[in-house]
Structures are given as C-alpha cells and as structure tokens.
Structure 1
Amino acid sequence: MTSTASVNWQAARSAAAKIADRWNQPGEPGGAITLFDVATLQGEACGGLANLTTKEPFAIDSVVRYASVTKHIFAALALLRSDAGISTDDTLGQYLPQLKAPMSQVTVGQALDMTGGLPDVRETLSLLGVSVYNVTDAATLIDFLATDGSLNFPAGTEISYSNTGYRLVETILKQKGILFEDLLQRHIAQPLDIAFHAPETWFDIVPNLTPGYWKSADGWKTSSAGLHLSASGSLTGSLRSLSSWLQSLLKDSGPGAGVLKHLSQPRALNDGTPTAYGLGITHSQIGRHQLLGHGGSHAGYKTYFLLHPEHKIGVALVSNREDTASYTALLEVMSALLDTPLPARSTALVNGLYASQAEPYWLNVTDGVASYLGAAENLYQGEDGSAVSLSAHLPMRLQMKGSAIEGEIGLAKRYFTPIEPNDCLHLIQGRWFHPESKAAFDIEGDKLMMGVGPLRASGTLTSVGQGRLLVSMPDGPWEKSFCLYFQGYNVQLISNRSRVLTFRRDECRISWEPTA
C-alpha cells in the first residue's frame, strides 16, 4: 500500500488547483487533473469549459481524445492479451511482406520503442503538402508506407518519436482478424466498467465526446483532423476512466496485471546504450524518484500521466485546449506530491540558430528552450553542468563549446555551430517535384509555395548555410518547420519525424504562344 508519510497530497492538490485555475478564463476551454493511489482518488482539480457552445464546465467525466497515451494500452493488448503470437524480436516484414527494406527489417520492438527510424506518416504527408484536415484511410496509408521503405536513420542507432510503428503493428493484428477495439472492450473496458473506445477516424461517433479547441489570431476554433487515427493515438475516454485504468496498473492485478513490468523493461540501442523509452511507456526521474508515464497530443487535446510504482501513486491530466503544456504541468504536481524540487531551468546555451556541419540538422535555442528539427524541449540543469531535457523520446544533453554546441540528442552525438547564411536563392528558383507522390512546391523569390488554388500556402525561408534553408509555414493549428537540403538537382526535406523525402528540380518548361 501507499506510504502516506512519504507523499504530500495537500501540496499536490494545491499545485493541481493552481494549474486548473489558469484555465478559468471567460469563454475558454480547460481540463482536469487527478491524484490517486491504488484505491482512491485523492484529489481532483478542474477548470475551464468542456464545450464553448453549451458552456458546460470541464469535469473529470468529460470525454476526450487521449492521443498517444493510447500507445501503452495498445502495446499491452497486442503483446500480452491478443494471442497473436507476435514477438518483439520479429521483423515487420515477417508479417507485412509488402514493406521494402530497410523498413521491413525493423523489429516489432524497435517499431514500438521509438528506435526503429520509421518516418512518421502525418509529418511525411505534411511535407508533401497534405493538410492535417485531409481525410486518409488505413489501407492507402499502408500502401503509401510500402512504396519506399526508407528510414529516418538506421534502426537501433538513435531514438526519435514516430507514430508509424504502432500503425504497422495494428495492421499486423488486423491481418490476423484481431481488432484493437475488440481487445480493448474485452480485456479493459468491460472488466473495469469504464467507457474506453478506439474510433478509427476523427469523424466516428464517440458518446459524449468533448470538442477540442485551438486558438487562432481571431479566437478559439474547434479542432479536427483527417488522418486515420490508428492505435498510435485513437483511444477516447474520461479522466476518471483513465485514472481507473492507471490504478489497475499500480495494483498490478486484474486487467493491469503484469503490464507495467512488461512495458517498462529496459530497451537499448544496437550498441547497448539504454534508452528511457519502453513500449509505450517512458521513464523519468525527479530527484531519487523513478517515474513511469506517457503523454498525448492531438489537435485540440492534451493528455499526460505519471506513476510512481514504488509508492503506488499517480497523477493524470487531460485537456481540450491545444496550448496546454501537459508534461510541465504534471511535473509540477508530482514534484509537490513527492516534496522533491524539479531541477532548475537552464539558460546555459546561448540563444541563436545553429546547424550541424555533416548533416542537414539544426538547433534553435531561445531562453532555455531547444528546438531540434522543429521539436522543442525545455532545458534543465544537469548534474554535470550540461543543459538537459527531461524527455524520454527526445533526450538532450548539450553544452557550449566555445561558440558551438555539442552533446547528444536522441542518444546520438551532435555538434552544432552558429549558422553562416549564404545567398543561394537565385540558384533554386522554380518548381521542385516528388515523382512518387506527384507532390510539388515552388520557390518564388524568398517564399516557398505549396498546394493548389485557394489551399496554396506560403512559407518563409531562412538560410542556414551550405545549401540549406529552413522553412516555416502553417499547418492547421500548428506551425510546421522543416529544412530544405539542396544537393545539385535534388533537395531533401528534413523534419524531426520525417527525413526520407527527396524532391527533384522540374526542368520541364512549357511555353505557349497564340497562333497567328
């Protein structure tokens, strides 16, 4: 049972209440936080609205999209409850012969532990100009993945987040006639009497679903997304239901029996370097306390949970607003609960834009936040004086080396120097196309133009030297950032989760003149 002498429930309730109170702004969405041990909800804090139309207040029974919190539940069901006979040592190609090498050679374990180098489908589509709102289905996405087989990096050489592995493993189960929703109802929802569901699209009916919201320049907007959800992030439910499931994990009995032990087993790179990401479960640390958890982010929804298996306690958060910093918020609550301060934020890295020399990678540092290939992490003071992230799926350990920055990102060694811009725009004007997908973009002056007709979007270009330009342009509720790496008549498109697309210069010139 929980050692109540070692935790401070009152301090944690106060911390949760302060976070929830920030959502209590007129006409704004909100969220909720729970604190629990194996038997009891020890506290809850709610703020903001569940529905901006009806003005219904947000509560722990408000139904939301859990997004990537789905991952550990799917991994548990697929590996422990499905009777599918899948091993983490099996390769994806054993079950999906349509995949090409090297993708086909990625193991199931690597696909689920973020070391597989699998390009993320959503981010790859975005680089092709496919909007977050465009509708796609499961079968065509698998066909899309099977057309190439390229990886972001050799499997097992670094860690980098991608949803694709979970999509592929779900496809393996489907081919065996096993559906995620059926497993979910039989092994978790019905035994615990909770309302978990796994819709496959954004447009499927989910009972009592709370809308998600994002804030544009002219106010709050209702979120939506067209991508087939997959078991990487399809789960829906309330915070109360999620807390019940997490209590089952902490009890290590009933539906949660053996799950945490199995999913949190140490994983490693090919060279033996241990990672902090298990199978849909992350390892993190506050002081001497070892925590397990995971987060989720869909357009307009944020989710996170942190568990302390030794003390058998946990905290969880759900929100229906895009701007919620869920991980940071729960770190504050868990810090109060354990009466253990978080490490101090670090500003040791000098603000600026940096680029690597040998690869088309970049790092943007702004007031203690490091954005690597467009993915940002807060930096904290490491014990060795380095600036570190507390992220398991994007670990950073960096320090200044003169005017340069060196260290590790994703457990791979990285070295960055301040950018040295060059004027290459006049050399790359015109159309660039991707033969396999028929996608294209145009460089017109200092802008990148992508899309057709009224959907044509414009991105700003920033030189980072050596034939590389950063692009920043809107993608629904987000701003997407990627690099153009020019090599003769080819250009690679590089982002945090997708580094496999190569466009070519369109040399075709068609002129038209009226006949006399």
Structure 2
Amino acid sequence: MLPAAASPIDPIDAAFAPWNGPVPGCAIGLQHEASPPLYRAYGMANLEQPAPATPDTVFESGSVAKQVTAAAVLQLVEAGVLHLDDDIRRYLPELPDHGATITIDHLLTHTSGLREWGDLVALTGWPRYSRVYSNMDALAMLARQRSLNHPPGTRFSYTNSGYNLLPIIVERATGCSFPDYTREHLFGPLGMAHTTWRDDHLRLVPGRATGYRRGDPGGFIDGSPMEDAYGSGGMLTNVRDLLAWVTALGDARLGAFVTRKLEEPVILVDGTRIGYGRGLMLAEYRGVREIFHNGGTNGYQAWAGRYPDAGLAMAILCNGRTVGPDTQARRIAQLYLPAAPGLRAGAPPPAERAARPGLYASDERYEILKIVEKDGGLGVEGGATLAYLEPGRYMLGSSELVFGDGRVERRRPDGTVAILSRRVPAAPGSAGSSAVAGSYRSDEVGSRLTLRPAGAGLELRFADRPAVAELLLPLFEDAYEGDGMLIEVLRNDAGQVTGVRFRTERVYSLEFERDAG
C-alpha cells in the first residue's frame, strides 16, 4: 500500500511511461478519500497535428456509457414514467413477439436474450464501422429476428442491443431526445459540461482525440468510429467529467435509488447471482469491492470505477489499442489497496500434462479453448499459461477451469459458467469440402452468401459485398472458424448439406438455408 506521505504521481507516471511519447495516449483522473482529484495525461491526442493529450481532451468512453444510459432509465423509473417490468414492446412495437415478455429490466441487465445487432449486421457483409449505423438501424435488424439467444431472464448474455434500444424507449416515453434528456437531468446537474453523445459522427467536437488502431508494423491508422448508434457506447467525455460521474454515484448525488439499482446484482430465474448490476460490473479485487465498467469503441478504450471500501475512484480514457485501461486501473489501484493473497499454484503432474491438452468448443456459442503443453505446464495456444491448483482445476486469468470427462467448465468471476466439449481437430491440411459449396440465405438478416473451397478451407463472400472475401479454416468435423465466428455445416438424415449455422460470442445460433438448385 502507498505510504501516506508518498506522492502517487511518480508510480502513475511510471505505469503510463510507454505511452508518454509520440503515440496514442491516455488521460487519468483519480480521487482517494478526501484528497483533491489528481489528473494526468500521456501521449498524443492527435498524431497528425501533432497535439498532446491533456486532462481536458475529449475521448470516447465505449461501454462505460452503459451506466449513464441505465441511470437515465432508472430516474424515469423512480419518477413513475417507466417501470422495470414494462414490456419493451409497449415502446418498441416494431419488435416481434418471441413468446415471452422482454422487460425494460431485461435490457438493463443483459438478460433479454436479444442477439447482438453488431454481429447480425456483420452477417450482411457490412460490419460496424464499414458503414454508418444508428439506433434505428439496430432496432430494424432486431425486428427481423425470429429467435432469441435464450428465454428472457434465464441467462446473462452481454450485448449492446438492449442499450441501443433503451435511448429509443426514453425518447418515446418522454418526447425528449436522449441527448437532451441526459444533458438536462444528468450531465448538467453534475457539472459535466464536456460530455455529450456521438449521435452524429460528422459533428465537430472541440478538443476531441482521434482514435487509433495498429496499422503497418510500428504504425497507426485512424480508428474513429463511423457510427451514429449510441447508448451502449458513444459517450464523449474527458477524465474530469468522468471522474465527477464516478464520485457522484458513490455519493448518491443522483439519488440513493439510482445508485442502489445500478449496483444491484442480477439474479436469474434459477436464483443464480451474476456479478453485473445495471450498467455496472460488480467484482472483488484484493479483498475489496470493485464497481466498474470498461469499454472499447474502434480505436478508443476506457475504464471507470470505484473501490468504495478504500475510498478510491478512477477514470481512464485512451485513444489507442496498445494500452489496456483495465490492467492500468488495477496496477494503479494496487498503490492504495491491501496486498493480494498469494495464489498457491504449482506445476501439474505428468498425467495432467498428458490428459488435458486438446481442442474444446462450446455447444452454445462461439467460444474455443485450445489447450497445449507450455513451459512445463499447460496453457492456451498463443495465449496465457494456466495456473495449476489441483488435478483437474486451473486458473486462466480470473476464470477457473474445471476439467471433467471430455469437457471443461469455464467459471468466470461474474458467476457465469461456459461448458466446452472436447472435439477432434480437423486434420492438418484438410481442405474445404466441395459438398458445402453453394449459395445460402437468411431472412433474419436479409442476406445471401456463397461458400466455395479455397486453399485449406472455404471462401466466404456476402452477396451485398462481393469484393470482400474471408477464408474459413476447418476446426473440427463440419465446423469452420473465421474472424470471431464459428460456421457449422447442417445436414439432413441422408448427409446432404441443407444449410450452415453461424455462432459468434453474442449470437448463439443463426442459420442460413441452402438455396435450391
């Protein structure tokens, strides 16, 4: 823990030293107990001008914005304008009846079962940032869906969809635009004069940093989001305003009801408790509560949160993908928090090293683990080393892996559990099957695609964007892996190919039927 007489500036500067130069940077705001707020900035807000980042630089906050959207809804719930158990189709009649009521609270808690609209538009050939999408575009795509990821309230499945629908609900319930509502009822009262929404990506914003992504080796490309969808993200702010927001929640300056409901854990219908509230993640770090949210939108990243038991609040905003605000937040928090208990991890015995490696895949969505022998133990192919606890039990980051007969359970700290089954990997050099070649269509996304054998796999092209091709590589029998997705081949009893099923992390299952002929 940081000695009381020591200045935190030097260790904070050290944490951000790699980004304190002619590279995309970060700004940080921090307050500890009754001490005055500390603001620092590192790196460049713009590489072309060039212009350095400052504590007044405006960044995008990614999914940190979700707590603000949730707070706006909760204010209206407290006022009796909205109710948590309202059927969302009361305000969004465009949506189909899925056979079970989806409530406003389901949207707030990521338990609605609605598919991720961003993954759905990607299955038209036009992913996010390749063309301009708005909240109404998200609603239109969700209105096409005939299925959910799961029945409402039964699972926690994080998506942006609900938080792009909530601003529309606020607007239809109040007759006021969402940016105007939040300016009058949230940003104005809290003195957040530099905070607004990116509801028009063409609008000029004074002092805004440019977002950047990695380009050629050692270089960068523009990573500013070409998008008008907001509520799930799209909040423009600086660290002074964002820190004011974080401390305001801790002081209940928006009212005890709003803070309490934001921090109230999700309880599923089976009683499972989830480490998420309404727009806030609920965790524990070094034995103290951690209430936070992270975010990332194209080239921007962010983190904002509190350690209320330690009197610590922090906001970090970055305009590049080379720094991890989550890692930096915890690194800085360590200066103020008790020491972490040591993890008693050893080397797995030879029998463990022999039994566990293999390919594991979820039967529900796109989630893959490739376990390999690594550094005398086990690890993820191309990734982290597993910390051995006891036979069949390991830690992968903050998740626990529990191996069983032909499967592994991934138990995340938020309370969710993913079950991955062992699969027989495709033989090296196996080519895409000519039987899969053909044209496929989906009415749910209004899209057609073609598949054909190419090299070691299949070539995927969407009819609406034929100039762009993606190579799908064989993963296991009748399954191919692409960029962020798994494609499974569907066959009838005679073994004939009838369609393909797409799985992503946030779209559990979406089928394309094979065209006749």
TM-score category of the 2 structures, normalised to the smaller one? 0.7 to 0.9
Which deviates more, 70-79 or 459-468? Answer: 459-468
> What corresponds to 1:463 in structure 2?
474
Q: What amino acid does structure 2 have at the position aligned with 1:244?
A: A
> What corresponds to 2:54 in structure 1?
59
Alignment pair present for 1:364 and 2:364: no
> What corresponds to 2:495 in structure 1?
none
Q: How many residues align?
A: 484
> In the TM superposition, what are the counterparts of 1:31-180 in structure 2 within 5 Å?
31-37=26-32, 39-81=34-76, 83=79, 85-102=81-98, 105-132=101-128, 133-176=130-173, 177-180=175-178
Question: 1:291, 1:306 within 8 Å by CA — same for their partners in 2?
Answer: yes
1:329-383 deviation digits (Å, cap 9, x = unpaired): 2122112320323875989896653224x54654234778879xxxx99977889
Task: Give the Cα separation in 2 of the matches to 1:447 and 1:311.
Answer: 53
> What corresponds to 2:313 in structure 1?
314
> What corresponds to 2:494 in structure 1?
none
Cα 1:8–1:39 change in 2 (3 A) is closer
Q: What amino acid does structure 2 have at the position aligned with 1:491?
A: V
What TM-score does the superposition give when structure 1 sets the normalisation length? 0.84
> In the TM superposition, what are the counterparts of 1:55-454 in structure 2 within 5 Å?
55-81=50-76, 83=79, 85-102=81-98, 105-132=101-128, 133-176=130-173, 177-194=175-192, 195-217=194-216, 219-253=219-253, 255=254, 258-341=257-340, 353-356=359-362, 358-359=363-364, 361-365=366-370, 385-387=393-395, 390=398, 396-401=399-404, 404-408=407-411, 411-421=416-426, 425-445=433-453, 446-451=457-462
Task: Give the Cα separation in 1 of the matches to 2:115 and 2:271.
Answer: 23
Task: Give the Cα separation in 1 of the matches to 2:150 and 2:274.
Answer: 16
**C-alpha displacement of 1:7:** 7.9
Identity of aligned residues (%): 23
Cα 1:134–1:241 change in 2 (3 A) is same
Question: 1:343, 1:381 within 8 Å by CA — same for their partners in 2?
Answer: no
Cα 1:437–1:288 change in 2 (3 A) is closer
What secondary structure, in the 3-state scheme, does the structure 2 residue paired with 1:486 have? strand
Task: Give the Cα separation in 2 of the matches to 1:9 and 1:125.
Answer: 54
Cα 1:8–1:153 change in 2 (3 A) is farther
Question: 2:109, 2:276 within 8 Å by CA — same for their partners in 1?
Answer: yes
Question: 1:315, 1:333 within 8 Å by CA — same for their partners in 2?
Answer: no
Question: 2:24, 2:43 within 8 Å by CA — same for their partners in 1?
Answer: yes
Cα 1:170–1:104 change in 2 (3 A) is farther
Cα 1:50–1:127 change in 2 (3 A) is same
Q: What amino acid does structure 2 have at the position aligned with 1:486?
A: V
> What corresponds to 1:484 in structure 2?
487
Question: 1:32, 1:317 within 8 Å by CA — same for their partners in 2?
Answer: yes
Task: Give the Cα separation in 1 of the matches to 2:36 and 2:67.
Answer: 22
What TM-score does the superposition give when structure 2 sets the normalisation length? 0.84
Report the RMSD for the aligned CA atoms in angstroms: 3.2
- Identify unmatched segments of 5+ residues in structure 1: 391-395, 473-480, 509-516
- Identify unmatched segments of 5+ residues in structure 2: 492-497
Task: Give the Cα separation in 2 of the matches to 1:158 and 1:377.
Answer: 28
Task: Give the Cα separation in 1 of the matches to 2:460 and 2:446.
Answer: 15
Question: 1:7, 1:339 within 8 Å by CA — same for their partners in 2?
Answer: no
Task: Give the Cα separation in 2 of the matches to 1:369 and 1:231.
Answer: 37
Which deviates more, 443-452 or 117-126? Answer: 443-452
What secondary structure, in the 3-state scheme, does the structure 2 residue paired with 1:18 have? helix
Cα 1:296–1:343 change in 2 (3 A) is farther
Task: Give the Cα separation in 1 of the matches to 2:284 and 2:250.
Answer: 17
